[in-house]
Amino acid sequence: KNQVEQSPQSLIILEGKNCTLQCNYTVSPFSNLRWYKQDTGRGPVSLTIMTFSENTKSNGRYTATLDADTKQSSLHITASQLSDSASYICVVSVGAGSYQLTFGKGTKLSVIP
Amino acid sequence: NAGVTQTPKFRVLKTGQSMTLLCAQDMNHEYMYWYRQDPGMGLRLIHYSVGEGTTAKGEVPDGYNVSRLKKQNFLLGLESAAPSQTSVYFCASSYQDYGYTFGSGTRLTVV
């Protein structure tokens, strides 16, 4: 069964600090891995998308890494801001069809002053 | 540029009532999707469409129907609402395998 596991479930950090969120997946065949940010009461917004051949991708203060051999990904947030408070969702695309996405449950990040 | 627009944003239904959720996108995307998001669970695909006039079942299709009569619109119908359908519903669209755009969601409560 295709699964995406994220850790930690929730995280509280001080403004200005860095943090790393983890994602492990058991999805086959793998097509690409995405990280989304979901603010409370809003839809998910794409942060990064990585294919099998990419092992890192950045979007501003967000840097995602991918190790396709160990089936692990991480999202590193640098110099956190209060606006980074949100749920971060790891999503893996299965095969060639974009409708075959497996979503993680998300990590809820709270940045406090 | 509106992106993906969902209406309504909130709705309360009584058990057995019917309703239709509307999703509209202005990006000329071929693919459109309906997901539900429940506490403690990842988004789950209800139905999807790969083009005008086509629809297909996703992971949790029971109790829902969909229609894609126009490329820009994707409708999700509940014929006889049940409390188990209380959820937040998200519509999304994409051009190909990349570039998913989600709407802001419809919060549905069935009492």
The pLDDT of residue B99? 75
Taking contacts as CB-CB distances below 8 angstroms, the residues of chain A near B45 are 99, 101
Contact A23, A33 (CB under 8 A): yes
A53-79 in b/e form (b: 16+ CB < 10 A) is: eeeebeeeebbbbbebeebebbbebee
- Looking at the DSSP bridge assignments, the partners of residue A74 are A22, A65
Q: Once rounded to an integer, what is the mean pLDDT over residues A91-98? A: 77
Tell how strand B106-110 and strand B10-13 pair up.
Answer: parallel
Q: What is the pLDDT of residues A8-33, one digit of tens each?
A: 999 999 999 999 999 999 988 888 89
Q: Which pLDDT belongs to residue A28?
A: 82
* Chain B residue numbers touching A89 (CB-CB < 8 A): 42-43
B46-91: per-residue pLDDT in tens? 999 999 999 999 999 999 999 999 999 999 999 999 999 999 999 9
Average pLDDT for chain B = 94
Chain A's closest residue to B100, CA to CA, is A46
| pLDDT per position as a tens digit, A35-87 | 999 999 999 999 999 988 899 999 999 999 999 999 999 999 999 999 999 99
CA distance A18 to chain B (A): 25
Task: Give residue A98's pLDDT band: very low, low, confident or very high (50, 70, 90).
Answer: low
Residues with Cβ < 8 Å from A52, sequence gap 6 or more? A30, A31, A32, A68
Tokens of residue A10, six digits? 């929730």
Question: Among partner residues A34, A41, A99, which is closest to B45 by beta-carbon distance?
Answer: A99
CA distance A37 to B85: 25
Query: Does B1 score more than 70 pLDDT?
Result: no
Pairing verdict, β A107-112 and A10-14: parallel
R_g (Cα) of chain B, nearest Å: 13
Cβ B104–A49 below 8 Å, yes or no? no
CA distance B21 to B12: 12
Beta strands in A29-85 (DSSP E): 30-38, 45-51, 56-59, 62-67, 72-77
Indicate the residue of B42, B96, B102 with minimum beta-carbon distance to A98. B96
How would residue B97 be classed by pLDDT, with cut points 50, 70 and 90? low
Residue B94 touches chain A, beta carbons under 8 Å: yes
| Residue B4 with chain A: CB contacts under 8 Å | 43
